[in-house]
Amino acid sequence: MRLLSNVLLFSALPMMAAEPFTGTWKADMSTEKVSQPKPEKFELANGTYKCFTCDPPLTVKADGSDQPVTGDPTMDTLNVRIVDDHSVQMVGKKDGKMVFETKTTVSPDGMTATGEFTTHPPSSDQPVTGTFKMKRAGKSMSGMHAISGEWLPDKVENLSENALSVTFEESADGLKMTEPTGEHYDAKFDGKDYAYEGSTGVNKVTVKRVGSREIVETDKRDGKVESTSRMTLSPDGRTLTVVSKDWDQQGRVNTLIFNKQR
C-alpha cells in the first residue's frame, strides 16, 4: 500500500484469537510521526522545474504542457504550471491517464508550504484526496520561485476514506491484503517474493515473522527495495503500530497507528 506507505502484516498471539490480524484496520492520522533525515530539494527558475531528490531526478519545462519523464514507473509525463509567485500546479500522467494532481502554495514568509492533492489509483475509479504541509529547511532562494529550496514534510491531513483502511486475512502460513484503492497481495510468511498488484510503484512483496507480535514487510519494484515496514500488534490486539522506511535518497521513516474496526 503506497500514498500511506506500505503497512501490513501479522502474527499469532498466545491467549488471543488464532488469527488476530484478520479484519479491517483504519489509520488514525493524528498519530502520524514523520522523520526525514534529508530534505526534498526543488528548483523553479527561468521556466524550468528541477526535482533533485526525485527518483530518478528530473528536469522539465514549467510551461503548463505535458513534458516527457523517463525512468519513473508511476508517470511518463509531468505538467508544471506556475499559478503565481507562490503557487505551482503539477499533473502527472501515465499512458495519457492522470496519475496525480497537486497544487502547492508557499506562505508569504516563505517558510511553510501547504498543498492539495488528488491521486488516481490504477485499479480503482475512486480518487484519493488530501492535503499536506511542508517546512522549509534552510533559507529561501532569491531570484527563484518561492517553491525553490529544501523542504521537510510536516503532516498529511484530510485523507479521503478510501486511503485510510486496509483489510487482512491471515492464515497459519501467510497473509492476504486488500485496500479500497484496489491494491492487493497474497503472500506466504517465507520471505519469498510474491505479486503485489494494483500499484504503479510496487510489484513484489515479501513478508516475514520476526517475533510473536511482529511482521516485517518489504515492498519492491523490479527487484529494487522501495520500502520496509515493521508492524507491531498491541497486547490487546486492537491496534497496530507500523513503522515504515522509504529506501530513497531521503530515507523517510513514518510511524502510524491503525485501529481495528471489525
Q: How far is CA 76 from the centre of its chain?
A: 19
- Has residue 40 got a pLDDT over 60? yes
171 and 128 in one domain? no
Q: Select from 134, 157, 180 the last residue of a domain.
A: 157
Please give the pLDDT value at position 249: 67
Q: Select from 109, 127, 157 the last residue of a domain.
A: 157
- Whether 111 is in a domain gets the answer yes
| Range(s) of the domain holding residue 29 | 23-36+163-260
- Has residue 103 got a pLDDT over 60? yes
The order of strands in the sheet holding 77-84 is 58-61, 48-51, 40-45, 149-157, 128-136, 112-119, 97-106, 87-94, 77-84, 67-68
- Whether 12 is in a domain gets the answer no
- Whether 175 is in a domain gets the answer yes
152 and 46 in one domain? yes
Phi, psi of 51, rounded to the nearest 5 degrees:
-115, 105
| pLDDT tens, position by position, 173-187 | 999 999 999 999 999
256 and 181 in one domain? yes
46 and 150 in one domain? yes
152 and 50 in one domain? yes
| pLDDT tens, position by position, 53-74 | 998 999 999 999 999 999 998 9
Q: Select from 133, 157, 181 the last residue of a domain.
A: 157
Q: Can you tell me the distance from the alpha carbon of 71 to that of 57, in angstroms, rounded to the nearest whole number?
A: 9
Q: Average pLDDT in the 29-58 region? A: 91
228 and 140 in one domain? no
- Whether 16 is in a domain gets the answer no
> What three-state secondary structure class fits 64?
coil
Supply the pTM of this predicted model. 0.83
- Whether 9 is in a domain gets the answer no
133 and 67 in one domain? yes
Q: Can you tell me the distance from the alpha carbon of 30 to that of 159, in angstroms, rounded to the nearest whole number?
A: 11
Q: How far is CA 56 from the centre of its chain?
A: 16
- Has residue 241 got a pLDDT over 80? yes
167 and 152 in one domain? no
Please give the pLDDT value at position 55: 86
50 and 151 in one domain? yes
- Whether 13 is in a domain gets the answer no
> What string of DSSP letters covers 65-98?
S-EE--S-TT-SEEEEEEEETTEEEEEEEETTEE
Q: Average pLDDT in the 200-217 region? A: 90
Please give the pLDDT value at position 210: 86
66 and 117 in one domain? yes
115 and 48 in one domain? yes
| pLDDT tens, position by position, 6-21 | 433 333 333 344 688 8
Q: What's the domain count of the chain?
A: 2
Q: How far is CA 73 from the centre of its chain?
A: 14
